[in-house]
Amino acid sequence: QVQLVESGGGLVQPGGSLILSCAASGPIFSINDMVWYRQAPGKERGSVAIITGDGTTTYRDSEKGRFTISRDNAKNAVYLQMSSLKLEDTAVYYCYARLKRTPSDYETGYWGQGTQVTVSS
């Protein structure tokens, strides 16, 4: 059973920093895109940052220059380094990965359970 587990969330003051981690485990042959999403109360879930299998990164405009996404293929992990955090960054952050469990498998998307990030003074 493939699982994605996020960690690193918590309470941080405005202007502070956090690093989120997400590790995929289980029968995994290859991982393509890895994405960080977030969902604030009363709002839809939306992507924050994407890193493709070849390492290409894309960010939402409001996060450019503040967030950095990276991955460690040997650990099947993706990270989100967040700095200059704002009140509006408060949300549950989810990781998502498109992967194959075997060489002949179709690529399938998996979600983590989410980790809460609260920015508050």
pLDDT digits over 58-78, tens only?
999 888 899 999 999 999 999
> Can you read off the two tokens belonging to residue 40?
């604030």
Q: For the segment 86-106, what is each residue's pLDDT rounded down to a tens digit?
A: 999 999 999 999 999 999 999
- pLDDT, residue 53, reads 94
- Residue 86: predicted pLDDT: 96
Tokens of 89: 């960054």
Assess contact for 90 and 40: CB atoms under 8 A. yes
Q: pLDDT, tens digit, for every residue of 6-18?
A: 999 999 999 999 9
State which H helix or E strand residue 106 sits in.
none
Contacts of 112 (CB under 8 A, 6+ apart): 4, 5, 6, 22, 94, 95, 96
Quick one: pLDDT band at residue 23, thresholds 50, 70, 90?
very high
